[in-house]
Amino acid sequence: TVLVVDFGAQYAQLIARRVRECNVFSEIVPCTMPVEEMLAKRPKAIILSGGPASVYEDGAPSAPEGLLETGVPTLGICYGHQVMAQALGGVVENSDVAEYGRTDIEVIDGGVLLSGLPAKQPVWMSHRDHTSVAPEGFTVTARTAVTPVAAMENRERGLYGVQFHPEVVHTEHGMAVLRHFLFEAAGCRPNWTMLNIAEEAIEAIRAQVGGKRAICGLSGGVDSAVAAALVQRAIGSRLTCVFVDHGLLRKGEAEQVEKDFVAATGVQLHVVDAQERFLSALAGVTDPETKRKIIGREFIRVFEQAAREIVAAHSGEDDDVEFLVQGTLYPDVVESGGGTGAANIKSHHNVGGLPEDLKFKLVEPLRTLFKDEVRALGEQLGLPPEIVWRHPFPGPGLAIRIIGEVTRERLDILREADAIAREELSAAGLDRDIWQFPVVLLADVRSVGVQGDSRTYGHPVVLRPVTSEDAMTADWARLPYDLLQRISTRITNEVREINRVVVDITSKPPGTIEWE
Ligand code: XMP
């Protein structure tokens, strides 16, 4: 493993992903972790991440005691580079001139990290302080007009530092720098492949579940599908999947889970048709948070009931149902370890909120993976592309994309419009460039239109295509005009109740991705 020591901000996750793209496993550890604990993980290399602090600030995070004396090859990036320089007797200065964005570095001595790369190359910088004098024993390998020590290394001690960010795409040769560090400086081997990940995960699940049974809630999303497929490979028919059809799904979704997923995996599926129940619980409700709470509550009740039935059917057998499978991903694990209480913007729900008296042990085979890795794993496991590349879809479903009361008629209208938008996006070959593409029905708004010489008084829908890395932030997607036009024409022609199509051009923040 390669440890990425997190000094704050979002840089650490990106670095960990890039290391994994080199087929080397990496994990993120907080900079407060004692060095013995880090070494217990037997790292082949250590990377010190960037961070928002200045090494001069009171309380600025520093390298844990002894981190630079472990003998494990270590690379400091940005703030990590400054921490390294300062701790070893170099000079870090508060400079008048900051460097933000694209900057050219001049390579002085290729060293290990920059060997074979152009003498002048663009990198991404984001700093105010800089290292003006490298510690004794270090060779300065690159500088910029502003930063005298843009890169440095001490091969004997296995210590390397770069002021720029090799992990961001704007650093043209960033991946080469990382590869040089991992493979040449640290002697890592590129053996972390999807095949190995799948095999190891299946082994680990077998060891954990033993001869017992497990259940898994399927949402139709890629995470629960891949988690279920892995567990199914490991324990076969001792896994039962539960799929709750709450009637708030998109067109074709229930069929996709019932047919495609079962066909690809052979999993045992327990489908609960709870459409009536959800619709009556939602009758008359317009407030977004109330909708979310009702759906979360009903979902848990239905799921719990199904789980009880499955448990009852097998209780007393040698293979009791003891385990619940969840598609928890690495960012959730890292973020919940972060400790900082984020504000409750919206009450998200998934199967996580099961009551205490339903005691299951958790199986979380995706705990160490990022979303794109989960997709690659899904492909490795032979899941169909419609499942692997499906856009994220919220648990409360179309209910939070109908602004106003949720009724069966409104759901039908939105389902049609949504299907058209998705169909056209796929036909344009843009599925994988777009993170998500909600279509929102403004059910209580009407506007005047004209169609076939007569006046119409229909509802608008909002197209909300966004690009994103992780849904924490998002940008509105610049879809081609002719695609937008095709979607607009088809929706207004084919969905009688809709006579106007608008596009949401708000980024997140300040908007959220969903409207409710
Ligand atoms: P927002 O609207 O907060 O959404 O920008 C961020 C991401 O989360 C999804 N989302 C949910 N997912 N249960 C889920 O499983 C929920 O209750 C829920 N609400 C929002 C949203 O689709 C986007 O991907």
Question: Do both 207 and 178 map to the same domain?
Answer: no
Cα 445 to averaged position of ligand 1 atoms, centre (Å): 24
DSSP-derived letter for residue 278 is: H
Tokens of 89: 């007797």
Cα 330 to averaged position of ligand 1 atoms, centre (Å): 17
Cα 164 to averaged position of ligand 1 atoms, centre (Å): 33
What is the pLDDT, as a whole number, of residue 110?
Answer: 82
Please list, in sequence order, all residues whose beta carbon lies within 8 angstroms of the beta carbon of residue 490, skipping any fewer than 6 positions away: 420, 424
Answer yes or no: is 402 within a domain.
Answer: no
394 lines ligand 1 (CB under 6 A): yes
Q: Which of 185, 217, 249 is the last residue of a domain?
A: 185
Given the CA of residue 515, which atom of ligand 1 is nearest to it?
2
Torsion of CA 195, 199, 200, 205, to 10 degrees: 140
pLDDT tens digits for range 211-270: 999 999 998 889 999 999 999 999 999 999 999 999 999 999 999 898 999 999 999 999
Q: Whose CA is nearest to atom 11 of ligand 1?
A: 394
Q: Whose CA is nearest to atom 21 of ligand 1?
A: 394
346 lines ligand 1 (CB under 6 A): yes
What is the pLDDT, as a whole number, of residue 338?
Answer: 42
392 lines ligand 1 (CB under 6 A): yes
Site to probe by mutation for ligand 1, drawn from 434, 514, 515, 516 as the one with most ligand atoms within 8 Å of Cβ, is 514
Please give the biggest Cα pair distance in the chain. 83
In the chain, the amino acid numbered 516 is E
Question: Do both 212 and 358 map to the same domain?
Answer: yes
Question: Of how many residues is the chain composed?
Answer: 516
Site to probe by mutation for ligand 1, drawn from 289, 291, 348, 472 as the one with most ligand atoms within 8 Å of Cβ, is 348
Given the CA of residue 393, which atom of ligand 1 is nearest to it?
22
What is the pLDDT, as a whole number, of residue 53?
Answer: 74
Please list, in sequence order, all residues whose beta carbon lies within 8 angstroms of the beta carbon of residue 400, skipping any fewer than 6 positions away: 288, 291, 292, 394, 514, 515, 516
397 lines ligand 1 (CB under 6 A): no
| b/e map 114-148, b = 16+ CB within 10 Å | beebeeebbbbbbbebbbebbbeebebbbbbebbb
Which of the residues in the chain have pLDDT under 50? 338-345, 349-352
What is the pLDDT, as a whole number, of residue 343?
Answer: 39
What is the pLDDT, as a whole number, of residue 10?
Answer: 67
**Known catalytic residues?**
78, 165, 167
Q: Which of 357, 388, 419 is the last residue of a domain?
A: 388
Answer yes or no: is 516 within a domain.
Answer: no
Question: Do both 450 and 381 map to the same domain?
Answer: no
What is the pLDDT, as a whole number, of residue 348?
Answer: 52
Cα 512 to averaged position of ligand 1 atoms, centre (Å): 9
pLDDT tens digits for range 155-200: 999 999 999 999 988 899 999 999 999 999 999 999 999 999 999 9
Given the CA of residue 348, which atom of ligand 1 is nearest to it?
17
Q: What is the CATH number of the domain that holds 96?
A: 3.40.50.880
What is the pLDDT, as a whole number, of residue 330?
Answer: 86
* Residue carrying the six token digits 């033993």: 210
What is the pLDDT, as a whole number, of residue 349?
Answer: 47
Question: Do both 487 and 380 map to the same domain?
Answer: no
Q: What is the CATH number of the domain that holds 429?
A: 3.30.300.10
Question: Do both 14 and 110 map to the same domain?
Answer: yes
Answer yes or no: is 511 within a domain.
Answer: no
Q: Whose CA is nearest to atom 6 of ligand 1?
A: 471
349 lines ligand 1 (CB under 6 A): yes
**Dihedral of CA 168/173/177/178: which sign?**
positive
Question: Do both 382 and 417 map to the same domain?
Answer: no
Answer yes or no: is 32 within a domain.
Answer: yes
The whole domain housing 138 covers 2-185
Number of domains the chain is built from: 3
Question: Do both 26 and 78 map to the same domain?
Answer: yes
Q: What is the CATH number of the domain that holds 214?
A: 3.40.50.620
Cα 320 to averaged position of ligand 1 atoms, centre (Å): 34
